[in-house]
Each structure stands twice: as structure tokens, then as C-alpha cells.
Structure 1
Amino acid sequence: MKRVVYGIIKSIRKFLTEKLHSEDSRLPYFITIIISLVVVVVGINLFIELTDTLKTDTLAKYDTDITNFIISYRNPALTKYFIFVTDVGDVRGYLIVLGLFVILSWRILKSWKYVLQSAVVLALATLSNMALKRFIDRARPGIEHLVSVETLSYPSGHAMSAMAFFGFLIYLISKLRINKVLKYTLMVLFAFLILSIGISRIYLGVHFPSDIAGGFIAGFIWVVFCVLIFDVIQIFRRDPKV
């Protein structure tokens, strides 16, 4: 990602120097951030447009078939597991994970930066999910709910937050200089957790499969956007004359 950022910044700098004769060495960074914001806004608009076009009989059949397949495996053991997993993807679960992350950052990483960044990604995903739910206004599935829900359905807040938060943790872990076996084990574990949280919402009867897909897409957009912005800030602080 940093190589991509460097490339974008150098391209913008070259364009500004040759075409605009800009003397402000920091201007390319601001332009890069603005471009990133534009990309995210356009991505959200495309996401909403796509969501509107998916309200068809084809999508309804897809949602019904996938849901029936997943709930056909309902049993006491799986129900306990998916209720536990869905709780991990709720407010209390994230507070516990963030608490553990704070301890890890304090004792081992010796830095609060990653904790703050993770909290920012989670907050952005949560707030934007609330806005998207109100805008799209999709009702919950009409099947039996194994857990209580109060908000609207699309996109899934659990899926979106899980992808944004744990997806960002996967990115952070990939950068750490730790034992490779431990690194890849943690990355696979978080990826499995993201998938499990998404499936749990379908299994428990509170989301359509398309809700989960939409949540995963929106959450991934936030991961990419935040990684780009954090890298730009880091490069900007270190050397504004790349």
C-alpha cells in the first residue's frame, strides 16, 4: 500500500510541477487525501445504486435459497456457537478486544497509534452503517429470529463492523515483525471470525445473505480508505518532500 501511495504522490507532484508550477510541497498530499475522499464517496454512491438495482425477484430467490440452506443446519450446539460469535461482533465484544489490544500495545508494541487507528476505523464503520440503514430502509427477514434486533436490515452492521475492525487488525498484523506461524495463525483466525460473524446473522434469522454481502463490501471500503489515509499521514509527517 505504501508503494502505491508513494507512486500516487510522485505522479501528482510531477503533474503539479510541470503543469501548475506549484511551489507548495505539501499540496500533493492534500490532493491525495481529497482524491481518496472522492473515491470513498463515489464508492458509497455506487454501493447504494447497486443496492437499489438488487431489489429484484432474482435477489429474493438468492436470499431465500441461501438462508434456507444455512438454517437447515440449526442445532443446539451451532446455535450456542453462533450466538457467542454474534456477541463478539457486538459492542461488548469490541470493547473487550480493544481492551486486550490496549494491554498488548502498552506491554509489547509500546505505542498507542494502532489502538487509536483501530478505534477510528470501527467508529467510521459504525456511524456510516447507521446512515446507510436509514437511507436504504430494508426490513428484517420475516423468519424466526433467535436473537433480538431493533434496527433495520441492510447493510448488516455486524458484518460491516467485523470486516472493518478485524480486517484492519489483519492489516496491522501483516506489518508486525513477529513469528510467521503466529502471524498467519492470527490472520486466519480473524478472517474466520469475520466470516463466522457474517454467517451467524443469517443462521440466527436476523439478516438476508445480501445484507451480509453489502456489509462486507462497505466494511472493506473503510479498511482500504483508512489504510491509505494513515499511510499518507505517516509519509507526510516523516518527509513532506518525497
Structure 2
Amino acid sequence: MSGQKLHPTSRRQRWIFLISMISLIGFVVLAALVKRQGLETFDMAIITTVQAWEQPLITDIAIGLSFIGSIGPVIVLCLIVIAVLYWVLGHRVEILLLIVVVFGSSILNVILKWVFQRARPDIHRLIEITGYSYPSGHSMAAFSFYSVLAYLLWRHIDSRAGRGALISISVVMILGIGLSRVYLGVHYPSDILGGYLAACAWLGFLVRSYEKRMGKRANPEDVNESETA
């Protein structure tokens, strides 16, 4: 019995669970350091480095990325993806996963900000914004949306180049939106990192639950593997 190999789906679910738990623990540790103001040196070193890049073109790019990561554009992008999933790919349950991941992440962010009530940095702001700082709502929204988008579209792309492009675009958008908030002076780097960790834990929990509920139907590649074995 101990020599049995795990089904690919079960093995992936274990990895998803592990990553989700590591992200959750990382968020808790980071939050404790934020509460104790133990990240000032870390935050200031990165802020100083990033804001030293300031020039008009980079500022325009940062403002654009920050806009894309705000709630309005995220809703529009979600509606576009929902339309593609429903009318082009013929999916239904995947739409529910997208909605719960993205909009659940936004609700979770509001709750976490209320819990920690961290004031925004007031060093060198290029835009003005109100509200609490930790964790970053933009970084949580970007991580949730682009990660779940990559997850849902991955199995519909056959070529390595296409899959590589999908992952590359997702990573660039996630990091770019997060970095833009530091550059614009409205978030500490630890806010961004906290947002990524919280979103990763949230996403991992939902994806694992989704795969367990859907079974092999959520993983047609695994079905093919089992049929050819």
C-alpha cells in the first residue's frame, strides 16, 4: 500500500495545499513584524531604491499600472474573461471560481486593512490616496486575478511558447502593479508582500477546494494520462 503512487491530481493538490499554508504562515509572520514596526529598515531601503528611478516616463507607466490594478479595470477585465469562458470555451463552474477568487480577495483585503489599520507612508507621494495601507489591495487584486486567469487558461494552451507567454504576462502584471504602488509612494514594500501572501493563501485554498469538488473533470490532462497508463 505504501508503495502506491499518488494520482497526479492528488499530488498537485498536496502541493497547492503546501504552498497555501506556507503563504498563510508567511503572512502571519509578516503581519506580526508590521505590528511591531520591525520592517522599517527593509521598507525604507526598497522605497529609496525604487523612488530613485523617478522620471516622467516611468511615472506615467506606474500610474497606468496602478490604474489597471484598481477595482474598476479589474471588474472590466473579469467581465471580459467571464464572457470568454462562457461563450467561447463553454465553461460554467470556472466562472464561479473566478468570481469567488477575485471578489472574495477584495472583501478579504477590506477586512485585513480594518484589522491592521496601518497608515500609508508619507515620504514622497506622486499621487494622493486615502485608506489604510496593509495589505495592499492592488497587489492582492493583481495576484488573485492574474493567477486564477493563468490557472484557468493553462489547459487551453497547447504550446510551450503560449504557456510561457501566459505565465510571463501574469508575472509581469503582478509584479508591475505591486511595484508601481511603491514607486508612487502610497505603499510600503511589506504591504505589497503581505498582499501577495494573503492572495496566494486565498487562491490556493479555493483552487484546492475546486479541484477536489470537480475531480478529474477539472483536470482533463490527468484523465488522458490515466487512460493511456
What's the TM-score once normalised by structure 1's chain length?
A: 0.76
| Post-superposition CA distance 1:157-202 (Å, at most 9, x none) | 1111111121111222222243332222122101110000110000
In 2, the alpha carbon distance for the partners of 1:174 and 1:7 equals 19
- 1:18-57 correspondence runs (5 A): 47-48=27-28, 50-55=30-35
The amino acid across from 1:3 in the alignment is S
Residues paired across the two proteins, number = 208
Q: In structure 2, what residue type is equivalent to 1:165? A: F
Select the residue among 118, 140, 143 that pairs with 1:138. Answer: 118
* CA displacement, residues 38-80 of structure 1 (integer Å, 9 cap, x when unaligned): x87x975773454123455651011111001101111111111
For residues 212-240 of structure 1, the C-alpha deviation after alignment (integer angstroms, 9 at most, x for no partner) is 111111111111111101011102999xx
2:10 to 3, 21, 31: 3
Counterpart pick for 2:109 among 112, 116, 129: 129
Of the candidates 149, 155, 164, which is equivalent to residue 169 of structure 1? 149
Q: Kindly report which structure 2 residues correspond to 1:71-82, keeping only aligned pairs within 5 A, or say none.
A: 71-82=51-62
Judged with a 3 Å threshold, the aligned counterparts in structure 2 of structure 1 residues 160 and 7 are, in CA distance, closer, same or farther, namely closer
Relative to structure 1, the CA distance from residue 6 to residue 224 in structure 2 (aligned partners, 3 Å threshold; closer, same or farther) is closer
1:118 maps to what in 2? 98
Partner of residue 69 from structure 1, selected from 45, 49, 53: 49
Alignment partners' CA distance in 1, 2:165 and 2:27:
32
Q: Does 1:84 align with 2:91?
A: no
Structure whose CA Rg is larger: 1
Against the structure 1 CA distance between its residues 6 and 52, is the aligned structure 2 distance closer, same or farther, given a 3 Å change threshold? closer
Structure 1 residue identity aligned to 2:88: I
- Structure 1: state its 5+ residue gaps: 9-35
CA distance in 2, matches of 1:86, 1:127: 19
Q: Which runs of 5+ in 2 are unaligned?
A: 1-7, 219-229
Higher relative contact order (CA 8 A, sep 6+): 2
Query: What pairs up with 1:222-237 in 2 under 5 angstroms?
Result: 222-235=202-215
Distance verdict in 2 for CA 1:211–1:107, change over 3 Å: same
TM-score, with structure 2 as normaliser: 0.80
161, 166, 176: which one aligns with 1:181: 161
Amino acid at match of 1:62: F
The CA distance in 1 between the partners of 2:211 and 2:92, in whole Å, is: 16
Question: Which AA in structure 2 matches 1:92?
Answer: G
Instruction: Name the % identity.
Output: 28
